[in-house]
Structure 1
Amino acid sequence: MRTVRRLTAGLLAAGAALAVAGTAAGTASADTPSPSASATTGGAGATAAPTEAGTSFRTATPFRPGQKATAGASSGDYLYWVLPVDAQQRVTVKAAVTLPESAARHGASTWQIDVYDGLRRRQACTYGTQTRAAAKEAASVALSCTLRTVRSGAEAWANDPLPGSYYVRLTVVNAPEEDLGLPVRVAVEADVHESGGAHAVDGALSAPIVPATVTGALSEPEDGWSGGWWSDRWIWTAAGGVLGALAGIYGYGLTRGAGRPTRVPPRA
């Protein structure tokens, strides 16, 4: 019985340690931005943020999370950028448009930001202001779009966001015809956050969805594709196994103790 108690105490300590580690890891992964979100903003190996935009999916300008891509354009142009997003990451894309002087404009305008995955499927925004109207007197307009957490795999019929390239498209969708062609300045950036094991799924793509037109031009995430394969689900699974073993040993000890015959003291 002493052996059972010692083993039980050891398993209890191990289970408690794993549970604490799982809680700490889950909190850190959920609240801490992806390393790729800050590693590209400075340092010797950092790349400069782009200062132009593409005009189609094929000519989309690559940028990385944490960078602010800028460009000069004309009102009415379709502007495209592309960035890498990995599994278990949730991305928020933001855009700011500096409008021409109000004296040169003839009325209000409406701007819109859209995000497409590597298969050019438009991904829905879970929240954010994807479309916004700017009054004639407005100096600028800001938009944002937060996507669903990227999954490592999905059914063929599903429209789930998958790891790979994500295209950002910005354009004006409604404006007076006389205002089309006026110069504007735009800035686009993306924030990526790790979602942790709460969004982990079984199975994964054999490779991220990166079209051939951007392969080589699009930098992969700082820790590589599927760098977030580790999740706190591993820790919780191990903790569950330890606690299950503990319950089995404890139950065995109770059963063995209950099965022993009761010793009756001898009569005087």
Structure 2
Amino acid sequence: MRITKALSTLLLAGTALLAPAGAAAAQSPSPSAGTASAPTEAGTGFRTATALETGQKATAGASTGDYLYWQFPAGAGQRATVKATVRLPEAASRTGAATWRIDVFDGLRRRQACAFGAPAQRASQQDTSVTLTCTLRTVRAWSEQWANDPLPGAYYVRLTATDVPDRDLGRPVKAEIEATAEDAGGAHDGGGQLGAPLHAAAVSEPEDGWNGSWLTDRWGWTVGGAVLCALAAIGGYTLTRHPHRGSHPPVRH
């Protein structure tokens, strides 16, 4: 019983090592996002794109038909989501429906596909607002030159309206945009590192760096699993090497 109880204690201790792994890999919100003043305008092109910090809610006044640009940082292992809400003019001042859309580009200005979300929405004449979302694929630490994988660096967001009636062009709108990034976990860690972020001079570096933190949940599970295997091997050896004495009475002649 003592050996069994001791083995159980060791196994529980080894299991406890696995618990902090997920917590250590989880991304906490950047403390600077709440202290820096949120931008109140947008750029009109890639070169003038307004820099955002992840977690900030930026606003901008514009006219229907304008192209609005922002940029934000994303590091390896992160999955970024962009959400934009457009407050539309009064229905009485509009003559028809319009399609609003957001497009996301990486630091090389390559358009990135949305893995989830609704990056384009049709707003009817009666709608007062329209909301667009785009969740990108997980940012990789490195990639082949021919691939279009998302890599660490700056990401550009473009917001505009298409299929707008000519008489509605120039109508004032109010845009609100937010970019967030969460840790996708060690299962998406492909190894390798990019030499430098892609055109990220205007945006701040993520809290865990452009190449992500080396301490991911993959490392936690690996170390924890190794500890559990070692403890199980020691316990099994102890049970087979030193069986309980006195379980069978000695044979007397």
Which band: TM-score by shorter chain? 0.7 to 0.9
1:58 aligns with 2:51: no
Q: Which residue of 2 aligns with 1:78?
A: 67
Q: Which amino acid aligns with 1:204?
A: Q
* 5+ residue gaps, structure 1: 258-264
Alpha-carbon distance in structure 2 between the residues aligned to 1:267 and 1:116: 87
Pick the aligned partner of 1:34 from 21, 24, 28: 28
User: How far apart, in 2, do the equivalents of 1:53 and 1:157 lie?
Assistant: 32
Residue 191 of structure 1 pairs with residue 187 of structure 2: no
How far apart, CA to CA, are the structure 2 residues paired with 1:170 and 1:18?
Answer: 50
In structure 2, what is the equivalent of residue 235 of structure 1? 220
Q: Are the aligned partners of 2:84 and 2:178 in contact in 1 as well (CA < 8 Å)?
A: yes
From the superposition, tell whether residues 266 and 223 of structure 1 become closer, same or farther in structure 2 (CA, over 3 Å).
Answer: closer
TM-score of the two chains, using structure 1 as the length reference: 0.79
Q: What is the aligned length?
A: 246
Shift of the 62–232 alpha-carbon distance from structure 1 to 2, 3 Å rule, reads same
Residue of structure 1 equivalent to 2:247 = none
Runs of 5+ unmatched residues, structure 2 = 243-249
Matches within 5 A, 1:138-153: 138-153=127-142
1:85 Cα deviation after fit: 0.8
Deviation at 1:249, TM superposition (A): 5.6
Change in 2 beyond 3 A, CA 1:157/1:253: farther
The 1:16–1:119 alpha-carbon spacing in structure 2 relative to 1, beyond 3 Å, is farther
Number of the residue aligned with 2:21: 25
**Partner SS, residue 120 of structure 1:** coil
Alignment of 1:172-251 (within 5 A): 172-209=161-198, 211=199, 215=201, 217-246=202-231
Q: Secondary structure at the match of 1:234?
A: helix
Residue 63 of structure 2 is aligned to residue 67 of structure 1: no
| 1:25-48 CA-partner distances (Å, limit 9, x unpaired) | 325645xx5332x5411xxxx221
**Identity, % of aligned pairs?**
57
Q: What do the CA deviations read for 1:121-166 (whole angstroms, capped 9, x no partner)?
A: 2111121111101111111111111111212122333222111101
Deviations 1:106-134 (A, max 9, x none): 10010001111112121111211111011
Q: CA deviation at 1:57?
A: 0.9
Tell me the equivalent position of 2:99.
Answer: 110
Question: How far, CA to CA, are the matches of 2:9 and 2:141 in structure 1?
Answer: 34
Q: Per-residue deviation at 1:84?
A: 0.4
Amino acid at match of 1:192: A
3-state SS of 1:40 partner = helix
Deviation for aligned residue 1:187: 0.7
Paired residue secondary structure (1:237): helix
Cα deviation 1:141-196 (Å, max 9, x = unaligned):
11111111212122333222111101111000211011111111111001221222
CA positional deviation for 1:223: 4.4
Q: 1:251 to 1:157 in 2, by over 3 A?
A: farther
Q: Is contact 1:125-1:147 (8 Å) kept?
A: yes
Letter in 1 for 2:170: G
Alignment CA distance shift 1:227-1:96 (3 Å) = same
CA deviation after TM superposition for structure 1 residue 226, in Å: 3.1
Contact 2:29/2:55 (<8 A) preserved? no
Distance 1:96 1:238, change over 3 A: same
Contact 1:198/1:233 (CA < 8 Å) preserved in 2?
yes
1:126, 1:147 within 8 Å by CA — same for their partners in 2? yes
